[in-house]
A and B are shown apart, each in its own frame.
Chain A
């Protein structure tokens, strides 16, 4: 399976202490993506100029001449780069590093097992990304391996995957952290590249099969901070029997910094950060319509 990283001691990716496995590859292209290195399913090289000491190890290792170190410092020409990652292996400082690692489910499980003493009744593994269900066989196999060993399982998903896998996912995950991005489908298409309707249908089907869920709703000021969107959340909520609560995730522009590491323009949008008042309003709207709401981390 293709992962970007496995992060331990996560406390905001489901109940208890969790080990979060970030899958690489996502069918969506959300304009606000905060993990842009997980979008592409292929290898990418991240470069953090602040950590570069100009030693030239990358230039020596690179088979295609994508790295040059001269009087003007280190220049990384991505048009030449084949993402072979030999530079990352040679870089002594970690300024160059690869976005993707190929791992077997057994290898991932071994990392997850390390924090067993901290999971207790509640904690466990969370598959995130990227879209874990874009690698459905691997994701499901890993989930089942964890479950068999008594480790709690959660999956964060946008819902954009082959609906034939919904029953298996509902079975293998103790909790689904289901993204709900926008109730306005035209806007959904525009901002993520896909329609949100089949994603919603997949969630409703998972719910019908008894899957426990949490609705994760990103709030972007001026994009979806409007009553119609809150109504859509409430409507979806009313159709779910096993949804624990809806979680409001105020947009943050941290994804922009990662874009820079990928050699892309920082697309972070300060103006999308919702104000505390807007968050409060969203909370009130939802609460008034009977939705159980929790702020992330509250």
Chain B
């Protein structure tokens, strides 16, 4: 039973043999395979279905799921509840009518699990009934009724588990805990953990992919109280917590999945400050790091909030766990994130509570209806500004070229924002009478989002406190590098004219290899700590943020900017032409806010400095930096110190989000050839991790290329 680390480091053993065996089975797809045995429930026999509204159909589906989804009790599990319908793994409500899915589901949000811990389902039910009484006879009545119905379904599912656990002495503890939660508020660590897990499992069973949020904030106070009272030891608590993580792998099935098998957005944040500015780090923080270190479970992408004040012991511990690779830990610079949010208008207390959506897009958890809208800035530059290098396109100087690009970029942002306004709102005149258009049903997640129940409005129809649509710029590095390459070679150094350059690019560098090599090697691009190149990237982001800001204030949406590709550089590569910085048409280029593979000539510190040159506070929902390290970089005490130094520097220089990973291209190549021997080997893909062997070849090659330092 070896939990792979891509650098050959031996993982510590702290958990019991039984728990480790449970993890081993789960990571080797035992429960994922089981989940796919029953894909969905059928509503073919539902009476009056055709006359139902979409919301009534949704409620019927949730009720049927609760009544009939398979119950699963895993041998030795310390927490019960399982999302056992296969269609949920595919991001749909797992209910069908005549073979067709009834409804899609919701992701990119972190729910407010704290409300279940504090009030219990009982408290939520009371609120829902109160809302129903208030809204009966109004247009909000159907949603209020749906809330009551879905909570009742949740209780039905809960009762089925109690029945299944009855008379099973081996699960006596689980039964005792579930008799209390999630119906009632939690009183201790085990109840709290089970309550969060059970609620998470039900929401997932209904097809949704929520994030977990700040696990140590949620659970820490319960554990600290138990430890103080002497009713639980750290070792016992670690076992319990491990089961939470192991159960979280119940959807992984092995096989080849494109972007990997672990991408269900079940994110966790650790550390940082609370609403009052106090450090939240507690026993749950440390134990979570223990579990991740030992089992290498990558299914809960976990991000630690760092700041200038982070305890050096925690920083070191983060580096220790990070060093095992697998991309399990990423970091936020919470100093900058909180400043970004407050500058954008969030209240300080809300900003301090920040969480994320599914990868790393920042939001106020449990209170935000969030979507992000990706677009390829390099596509704008090539297809619009430079009209694919047409012969009749010319610019007298760099500034006029850039001005054209800025106008095109602004137009794209405007178009994106308008299309979301049109999809969600009736009016589209500033200051006009904006009203929400009906959206797909989403009651189950709405139950755990402030203030859907109280407002009688669903998550997608104005129930959430914050309604955020975040345009995400992709292709940052290559857009900046393209512009910089043109600026230098054409306008500054006059190596060739723009027309000549366009001809070369139209022909994909055909017969111009020396020029291509010159463009690749003569200039230092974004990621090399070159002020002049980095200034172009910073300028693009500033203008992008201006364009987004310009769309605010028209309706209930806010349009904060962000930077991401999330692997879309793969699909975008197919429509991209040759790029001026020496790239061929169709090459897979940079990820997120990272430099293009092969341009990071100055190492990790140079990359971080380039990235931090932009005012990242304006990228309100985030800008992710991927850092790929080799096992030799982080070897031994020196390597640990180096990793700590990277984290410190990232915070000091004003980074936003960084996902370092450690792997060796040779190991990844070996795994590609012999997948059977590397089943649990995990890598960071983008905002998520994946068992490397479950990526398809295209994705695998992209990850390998990011570790290859030379060879261009």
B156 is an interface residue with CB less than 8 A from chain A: no
Question: Does the CB pair B522–A118 fall under 8 Å?
Answer: no
The stretch among A119-127, A129-137, A282-290 that forms the contact with chain B is A119-127
Which of B529, B602, B605, B635 contacts A17, CB < 8 Å?
A: B605
Take A92-B518, A114-B609, A297-B632 as given contacts and tell me if A8 and B642 are in contact as well, using a CB distance cutoff of 8 Å.
Answer: no
Question: B residues near A, CB below 8 A?
Answer: 513-515, 517-518, 520-522, 529, 602-606, 608-609, 632-639, 641-642, 644-646, 648-649, 652-653
A71 is an interface residue with CB less than 8 A from chain B: no
Question: Does the CB pair B513–A8 fall under 8 Å?
Answer: no
Q: Which of B515, B517, B634, B652 has the most CB of A within 10 A?
A: B517
1/0 contact string of A34-62 vs chain B (CB within 8 Å)? 00000000000000000001010100000
The distance from the CB of B609 to the nearest CB of chain A, in whole angstroms, is 7
Which of A12, A15, A17, A53 contacts B646, CB < 8 Å?
A: A17
29 CB-based A-B contacts, threshold 8 Å: A7-B603, A8-B603, A8-B606, A9-B603, A9-B605, A9-B633, A9-B642, A11-B634, A11-B641, A11-B642, A12-B635, A15-B641, A16-B642, A17-B642, A17-B649, A55-B513, A55-B517, A92-B522, A93-B514, A93-B520, A93-B521, A114-B529, A114-B606, A115-B609, A118-B605, A118-B608, A118-B649, A119-B645, A122-B645
Question: Does the CB pair A8–B645 fall under 8 Å?
Answer: no
Which of A92, A117, A122, A297 contacts B653, CB < 8 Å?
A: A117
Q: Which residues of A contact B634 (CB under 8 A)?
A: 11
Q: Which of B522, B638, B639 has the most CB of A within 10 A?
A: B638
Which of B515, B604, B609, B648 contacts A120, CB < 8 Å?
A: B648
Take A92-B517, A93-B521 as given contacts and tell me if A16 and B636 are in contact as well, using a CB distance cutoff of 8 Å.
Answer: no
Question: Does the CB pair A92–B636 fall under 8 Å?
Answer: no
Which of A16, A53, A295, A297 contacts B645, CB < 8 Å?
A: A16
- In the A-B complex, list the 6 residue pairs whose CB atoms are closest, starting with the nearest: A11-B642, A118-B649, A92-B517, A9-B603, A92-B518, A17-B645
Q: Which residues of B contact A17 (CB under 8 A)?
A: 605, 641-642, 645-646, 649
Take A118-B646, A118-B649, A297-B636 as given contacts and tell me if A9 and B604 are in contact as well, using a CB distance cutoff of 8 Å.
Answer: yes
Q: Which of B644, B645, B653 has the most CB of A within 10 A?
A: B645
Beyond the given pairs A9-B605, A118-B608, 4 more chain A to chain B contacts, judged by CB atoms under 8 angstroms and listed by A's residue number, are A92-B522, A93-B520, A94-B521, A298-B637
Question: Does the CB pair B514–A92 fall under 8 Å?
Answer: yes
The distance from the CB of A122 to the nearest CB of chain B, in whole angstroms, is 6
Q: Which residues of B contact A117 (CB under 8 A)?
A: 609, 648-649, 652-653
Q: CB-nearest residue of chain B relative to A122? A: B641
Which of A12, A53, A92, A115 contacts B638, CB < 8 Å?
A: A12
Question: Does the CB pair B517–A297 fall under 8 Å?
Answer: no
The total of interchain contacts (Cβ-Cβ below 8 angstroms) comes to 85
Question: Does the CB pair B638–A118 fall under 8 Å?
Answer: no
Q: Roughly how many angstroms separate A67 CA and B329 CA in the complex, as a whole number?
A: 51
Take A53-B513, A92-B521, A297-B635 as given contacts and tell me if A115 and B641 are in contact as well, using a CB distance cutoff of 8 Å.
Answer: no
Q: Which residues of A contact B520 (CB under 8 A)?
A: 93
Q: Roughly how many angstroms separate A15 CA and B652 CA in the complex, as a whole number?
A: 20
Take A12-B638, A17-B641 as given contacts and tell me if A57 and B605 are in contact as well, using a CB distance cutoff of 8 Å.
Answer: no
Q: CB-nearest residue of chain B relative to A115? A: B605
A1-38: which residues lie under 8 A (CB-CB) from chain B?
7-9, 11-12, 15-17
Q: CB-nearest residue of chain B relative to A14? A: B638
The distance from the CB of A98 to the nearest CB of chain B, in whole angstroms, is 14
Q: CB-nearest residue of chain B relative to A57? A: B514
The distance from the CB of B64 to the nearest CB of chain A, in whole angstroms, is 57
Q: Which residues of B contact A7 (CB under 8 A)?
A: 603
Question: Does the CB pair B645–A123 fall under 8 Å?
Answer: yes
Q: Roughly how many angstroms separate A94 CA and B518 CA in the complex, as a whole number?
A: 9
1/0 contact string of A235-264 vs chain B (CB within 8 Å)? 000000000000000000000000000000
Q: Roughly how many angstroms separate A114 CA and B612 CA in the complex, as a whole number?
A: 13
Q: Which of A8, A53, A93, A118 has the most CB of B within 10 A?
A: A118
Q: CB-nearest residue of chain A relative to B633? A: A11
Which of A57, A93, A118 contacts B648, CB < 8 Å?
A: A118
The distance from the CB of A49 to the nearest CB of chain B, in whole angstroms, is 15
Take A8-B602, A93-B521, A117-B649 as given contacts and tell me if A297 and B639 are in contact as well, using a CB distance cutoff of 8 Å.
Answer: yes
1/0 contact string of A93-122 vs chain B (CB within 8 Å)? 110000000000000000000110111101
Q: Roughly how many angstroms separate A123 CA and B603 CA in the complex, as a whole number?
A: 16
Q: Roughly how many angstroms separate A92 CA and B635 CA in the complex, as a whole number?
A: 35
The distance from the CB of A29 to the nearest CB of chain B, in whole angstroms, is 28
Q: Roughly how many angstroms separate A176 CA and B264 CA in the complex, as a whole number?
A: 51
The distance from the CB of A63 to the nearest CB of chain B, in whole angstroms, is 20
Question: Does the CB pair B517–A16 fall under 8 Å?
Answer: no
Question: Does the CB pair B641–A16 fall under 8 Å?
Answer: yes
Q: Which residues of A contact B645 (CB under 8 A)?
A: 16-17, 118-120, 122-123
Q: Which of A117, A120, A122, A123 has the most CB of B within 10 A?
A: A117
Q: CB-nearest residue of chain A relative to B632? A: A297
The distance from the CB of B530 to the nearest CB of chain A, in whole angstroms, is 11
The distance from the CB of B269 to the nearest CB of chain A, in whole angstroms, is 24
Q: Which residues of B contact A298 (CB under 8 A)?
A: 635-637
Q: Roughly how many angstroms separate A298 CA and B641 CA in the complex, as a whole number?
A: 11
